[in-house]
């Protein structure tokens, strides 16, 4: 009886743990075999991604079609947003830096004096309009003691299709 208990104990602690490990490894190997990608599959996936890239590029170009795909177009767009939201720029400084052959990034810095709600409306119009814009930094401080206006500096980037 004692020998049977020892055998059962050894079997349950040693043998079953090893078999469990073997089955886990077998499952991992089987999963990795399913994940292996063939060169044909990669070529097909690359073609699908290029199609998506072309369609997204055309969508991006058409959405901003009201504005020229250049620094001038970005300035016109930002000025139109400011006019609609009741903000007057003191300065608008564009800075161009290219991201890739297809998309260019046009940085800008805006300084202005405006009321808080007008600034919020301007930021909203800039970010949801037809030109893809990312606001990176907003600084606001009281323009004068007791004045409802704020001194505002906005830094951001607009993204345009290169070569258009």
Give CA angle at 85 (112, 105), nearest 5°. Answer: 65
Which helix (H) or strand (E) segment is 108 a member of?
strand 103-115
Name, of 10-14, 16-20, 39-43, the range with top average pLDDT: 39-43
**Alpha-carbon span 113 to 90, nearest angstrom:** 8
Read off the pTM.
Answer: 0.59
How many CB atoms are closer than 10 A to CB 85? Answer: 18
How many CB atoms are closer than 10 A to CB 89? Answer: 19
Query: What 3-state DSSP class applies to 88?
Result: coil
* Residue with more model confidence, 69 or 75: 75
The DSSP code sequence of 32-80 is HHHH---HHHHHHHHHHHHHHHHHHHHHHHHHTTTS-SSHHHHHHHHHH
**Alpha-carbon span 124 to 121, nearest angstrom:** 5
At residue 73 the predicted structure's pLDDT band, cuts being 50, 70 and 90, is: confident
Decide if pLDDT at 26 tops 90. no
What topology does CATH give the domain 68-161? Alpha-Beta Plaits (3.30.70)
Q: Are 129 and 73 in contact, with CB atoms under 8 Å apart?
A: no
115-145 confidence digits (pLDDT tens): 999 999 999 999 888 888 899 999 999 878 8
% of the chain exceeding 90 in pLDDT: 30
**Alpha-carbon span 61 to 132, nearest angstrom:** 10
Decide if pLDDT at 72 tops 90. no
Decide if pLDDT at 155 tops 90. yes
Decide if pLDDT at 108 tops 70. yes
């Amino acid at each position: 009886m004692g020998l049977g208990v020892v055998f059962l104990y050894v079997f349950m602690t040693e043998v079953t743990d090893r078999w469990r490990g073997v089955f886990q490894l077998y499952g991992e190997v089987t999963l990795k075999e399913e994940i292996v990608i063939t060169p044909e599959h990669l070529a097909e996936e690359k073609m699908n991604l290029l199609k998506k890239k072309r369609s997204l590029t055309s969508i991006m170009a058409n959405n901003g079609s009201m504005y020229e795909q250049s620094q001038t177009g970005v300035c016109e767009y930002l000025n139109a947003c400011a006019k609609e939201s009741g903000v007057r720029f003191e300065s608008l400084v564009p800075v161009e830096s290219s991201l890739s052959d297809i998309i260019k990034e046009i940085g800008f810095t805006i300084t202005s004096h405006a009321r808080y709600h007008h600034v919020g409306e301007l930021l909203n119009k800039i970010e949801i309009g037809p030109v893809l814009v990312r606001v990176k930094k907003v600084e606001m401080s009281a323009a004068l003691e007791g004045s409802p206006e704020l001194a505002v500096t906005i830094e951001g980037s607009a993204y345009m299709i290169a070569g258009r």
